[in-house]
Amino acid sequence: FDYRQISQPVGNGRYGMGYSDNGIMMSVNGGVWHNSFQYLPPETWAEDYPEWYTPDGRTQSSATLGQNPGQLCYTAHGNEKGTYQKMIDTAFEVLKKTVDANPTLSNVTLTQEDNYDACDCDACMAEAEKYGGSVNGPVIKFVNALAEKLEDYLGDTRRVTISFFAYRATAQSPTERNSDGTYSAIDGIHCHPNVGVIIAPIEATYSHSFYESVNTTYAENIKSWSAVCDNIYMWLYATNFAYYMFPAGTWDTVAETYRFCKENNAVFMYNEGQWNTNAVSHFSKLKEYLDSRLLFDVNLNYGELVDRFFANYYGDGGEALLLSRELADGGYKDNIAQAQYWPKKLLDGWMELIDEANAAIEPLRASDPERYAVYSDHITLESLFPRYALISLYSGNYSSTQLQQMRVSFKEDSAALGASMVDEQTSFSSVFNTWGV
């Protein structure tokens, strides 16, 4: 892929895994993603120009998510009071300052707020009907207008791509499916050459690839966007955000998923994982390693990559841990923190494999203590999941003394390794308070 955005922290410095430190996207008034209100903040403009925002500025879905309410209205409610051009010009002033402040970057976003909303004013609904149910017609026209103004401003000195989200309410492309299975843009709508779409199929099942029938709807939508946009950017998902400490089994499908995206003209890949914690159990380091290789060549042999990772990341302990990885599955969106998915016998067996891995590296304690310490930390990180699952799902199987010892040990190891979050919103400190440790 031409552009690769890191998700989970790799901790390898400036040249780690071929990623840049700061990503490839400009920050717009402090926001890289979900930044439409950074361009046109409601607290500044909504009183004088309420037509720039969704009716009433709020819906129940926004309130439920706890995110910013509402979205921009990309028609200005049908150009009420003639303010549509004013809206474009105001957003462009922010865009121009952002581009001027980032002379080394060539990508900037104008992306919707993180909720389930899209504007449902009469003008936007009329546009959606025109474009086969897609609400993206007005979005494309608005961003195209910004791209044209920016192109005029920059001239031949520089090219900057402006990208918008195809996400949740805005997922659908303004296309129609042809009899031969290809897609055509409705009414000839097309993105400016300097406009990109960031396709984020958050509802897809990432334990299966996009070649599989369970993901047909999302695969077809990805294909359809190429009829509308020349710059396809992909935002995928590699974790279960509600259950950080339980496996989301996306390892075995990632190579095929990347191949599918590359075949369908993707130039950018961001596979979001556990972005706000420094250490993740259940082989998320394998995901990082696969990204470090597959994002540069989607045709590498997946099996060879896995074998190389386990042999080098865990040393002689890798053989036992490879067996434990094969026991891990877990879903992307499902409630996987349930005993029915993780029988105690399975978790106990996993801990036995952890013990085998530690025994395999034991000779290094004397012969190469520095290498031993590295492997030991890596193995301990993988032990955090089964230990947490045993504590949280089977606490009644242990005496109060045993359970307290397990909790204290888990707290010490997770803190030492930097595993700080139990889910996207909750830190382990609150869990430890509940545990009384």
SS3 177: strand
Which carries the bigger pLDDT value, residue 388 or residue 55?
Answer: 388
User: Percent of the chain beyond pLDDT 90?
Assistant: 79
Q: CA-to-CA distance for 169 and 315, rounded, in angstroms?
A: 46
Residue 254 above 60 pLDDT?
A: yes
User: Percent of the chain beyond pLDDT 70?
Assistant: 92
Q: How confident is the model at residue 18 (pLDDT cuts 50, 70, 90)?
A: low
Q: What is the pLDDT of residue 94?
A: 98
Burial of 20 (C-beta count, 10 Å sphere; 0-12/13-18/19+) = middle
Burial of 204 (C-beta count, 10 Å sphere; 0-12/13-18/19+) = buried
* 96-143 confidence digits (pLDDT tens): 999 999 999 999 999 999 988 899 999 999 999 999 999 999 999 999
Residue 13 above 50 pLDDT?
A: no
- Cβ atoms of 238 and 254 closer than 8 Å: yes
* 268-299 confidence digits (pLDDT tens): 999 998 888 888 888 888 998 999 899 999 99
Q: Which is nearest to 139 in space by CA: 58, 213, 197, 64? A: 197
Burial of 8 (C-beta count, 10 Å sphere; 0-12/13-18/19+) = buried
Q: What is the pLDDT of residue 17?
A: 53
Q: What is the pLDDT of residue 86?
A: 97
Residue 421 gets which letter from DSSP?
B
Q: CA-to-CA distance for 169 and 191, rounded, in angstroms?
A: 19
The structure's pTM equals 0.92
Q: CA-to-CA distance for 278 and 11, rounded, in angstroms?
A: 8
30, 66, 82, 99, 100 from 94: Cα distances, Å: 12, 26, 21, 9, 10
Q: Amino acid letter at 392?
A: S
Q: CA-to-CA distance for 183 and 165, rounded, in angstroms?
A: 20
